[in-house]
């Protein structure tokens, strides 16, 4: 039987640090409001003209490939999760493929928002299990700062998000012990408009930018914060328990839970619901804000680098986000 396992991991964040104090100087907000509501103290923003979604994904991928002991030429396929591609199309995975000199191999764009990386891991796992590919590069990258509304009107959303990228290399293995054990994916489109960006969309009779002239807020992120919160705190524990139950584990078997870094209050609520001690849940939203599809690989990478993920650990990745989408991946490291 063929399984998949993670053999290399890397992340990249742009060097520009945006503190809550800086945001206080450009909009009507406070460090106290942001910290109490979200746990975020700072986030990293791309430098225009230097960092792009694809360049950040490329940097993270280079580290993951090197740590896997491979070269870009060993990679058979790319799965690239983002909702903030460099262009409306094609996706940033194609640009990264070009930059890494991997011409010819397939690239799959995933846009499942905050759950994008879980969907990407699951997709790669299936391709490997089916025997189609041996080494797959899986990337989550987001450059969100350029479309945040940094006026008072957009402050409820703008303070939450940041930029960055993370990547893993997944490889085929016949080792039944150390592998991706299972993945679980869900969605409920009932709530599509509770967390969304309307433009550039094709849902208008006119070209979308004609509408943008009339209403320049349609390109902003709209978030119904309380609805997102209510669903997130139900779906996170549900999909973590689904992963545990499917494999005969209990919450206490988890060595590390790496949740999508949506909001520290959500992570804390989920931790309590699952009955997990603080040292079994990894959070770094304080430093990076919410980096959407990049948040799980960045957090997993930092957890691994700091020794919080060790050989033999049972690691659970879980996400909830726009769509609504939610999912989990259970991994024996
Ligand atoms: N600074 C100061 N005041 C602000 C800010 C800000 N940045 N943003 C909004 N406010 C004000 C509002 O205008 C409002 O003022 P009013 O009472 O005078 O009208 C007040 O703060 C409360 O606003 P709410 O939107 O009700 O704030 P709430 O307490 O609900 O917190 C938050 C907002 C943090 C978004 C909360 O709803 C939440 O945690 N939602 C979960 C969603 C989430 O975390 N999403 C993350 C991204 S999505 C994902 O990854 C799944």
- The enclosing domain of 323 has a CATH number of 3.40.47.10
Residue 218 has a pLDDT of 74
Mean pLDDT value of segment 133-137: 98
Residue 213 has a pLDDT of 57
> Is residue 169 located within the same domain as residue 187?
no
> Is residue 66 located within the same domain as residue 163?
yes
Domain that holds residue 212: 179-332
> Is residue 200 located within the same domain as residue 242?
yes
Mean pLDDT value of segment 77-86: 98
Kindly give the distance from the C-alpha atom of residue 198 to the centroid of ligand 1, in angstroms, as a whole number: 20
Query: Looking at the predicted structure, is the pLDDT value of residue 214 above 80?
Result: no
Which atom of ligand 1 is least distant from the CA of 260? 50
This prediction has a pTM of 0.96
Residue 199 has a pLDDT of 83
| Rounded CA separation 34/150 (Å) | 14
| Rounded CA separation 38/32 (Å) | 10
Mean pLDDT value of segment 82-103: 97
Q: How many angstroms separate the Cα of 34 from the Cα of each of 4, 50, 163?
A: 39, 28, 17
> Is residue 239 located within the same domain as residue 256?
yes
How many domains in the chain?
2
- Please say which residue of 173, 189, 224 terminates a domain: 173
260 carries an active-site annotation: yes
Q: Which band of pLDDT confidence, cut at 50, 70 and 90, is reported for residue 215?
A: low
> Is residue 108 located within the same domain as residue 191?
no
Q: Is 107 exposed, middle or buried (0-12, 13-18, 19+ CB in 10 A)?
A: buried
> Is residue 146 located within the same domain as residue 198?
no
301 carries an active-site annotation: no
- Of 79-83, 196-200, 216-220, the range with the lowest mean pLDDT is 216-220
Residue 181 has a pLDDT of 98
Kindly give the distance from the C-alpha atom of residue 37 to the centroid of ligand 1, in angstroms, as a whole number: 7
Q: Give SS3 for 256.
A: strand
Residue 211 has a pLDDT of 59
Of all residues in the chain, what percent carry a pLDDT higher than 90? 93
Query: Looking at the predicted structure, is the pLDDT value of residue 216 above 70?
Result: no
Residue 203 has a pLDDT of 81
Q: Which residues line ligand 1 (CB under 6 A)?
A: 29, 33, 37-38, 114, 155-156, 159-160, 195, 223, 225-226, 228-229, 232, 262-263, 265-266, 290, 320-321
Instruction: Taking the CA atoms of 184, 190, 195 and 199 in sequence, report the sign of the dihedral they define.
Output: positive
> Is residue 145 located within the same domain as residue 199?
no
114 carries an active-site annotation: yes
**Pocket probe mutation, ligand 1, options 156, 161, 222, 236, max atoms within 8 Å of Cβ:** 156
Of all residues in the chain, what percent carry a pLDDT higher than 70? 96
């Amino acid at each position: 039987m063929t399984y998949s396992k993670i053999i290399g991991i890397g992340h990249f964040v742009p060097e520009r640090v945006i503190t809550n104090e800086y945001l206080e100087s450009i909009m009507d907000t406070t460090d106290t409001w942001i910290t109490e509501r979200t746990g975020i103290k700072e986030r990293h923003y791309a430098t225009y003209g230097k960092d792009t979604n694809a360049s950040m994904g490329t940097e993270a991928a280079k580290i993951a490939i090197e740590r896997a002991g491979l070269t870009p030429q060993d990679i058979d396929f790319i799965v690239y999760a983002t909702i903030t591609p460099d262009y409306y199309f094609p996706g940033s995975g194609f640009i990264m493929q070009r930059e890494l000199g991997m011409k010819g191999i397939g690239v799959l764009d995933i846009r499942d928002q905050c759950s994008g990386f879980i969907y990407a891991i699951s997709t790669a796992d299936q391709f490997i299990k089916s025997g189609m590919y041996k080494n797959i590069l899986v990337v989550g990258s987001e450059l969100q700062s350029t479309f945040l509304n940094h006026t008072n009107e957009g402050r409820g959303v703008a303070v939450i998000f940041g930029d960055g990228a993370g990547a893993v290399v997944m490889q085929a293995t016949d080792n039944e012990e150390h592998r991706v054990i299972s993945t679980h994916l869900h969605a409920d489109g009932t709530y599509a408009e509770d967390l969304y960006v309307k433009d550039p969309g094709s849902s208008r009779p006119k070209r979308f930018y004609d509408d943008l002239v009339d209403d320049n807020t349609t390109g902003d992120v709209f978030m119904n914060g309380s609805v997102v919160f209510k669903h997130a705190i139900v779906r996170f524990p549900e999909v973590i328990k689904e992963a545990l139950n499917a494999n005969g584990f209990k919450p206490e078997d988890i060595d590390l839970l790496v949740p999508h870094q949506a909001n520290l209050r959500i992570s804390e609520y989920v931790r309590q619901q699952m009955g997990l001690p603080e040292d079994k849940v990894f959070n770094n939203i304080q430093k990076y804000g919410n980096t959407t599809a990049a948040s799980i690989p960045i957090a997993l990478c930092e957890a691994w680098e700091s020794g919080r993920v060790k050989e033999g650990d049972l690691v659970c990745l879980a996400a909830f986000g726009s769509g609504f989408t939610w999912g989990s991946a259970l991994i024996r490291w």
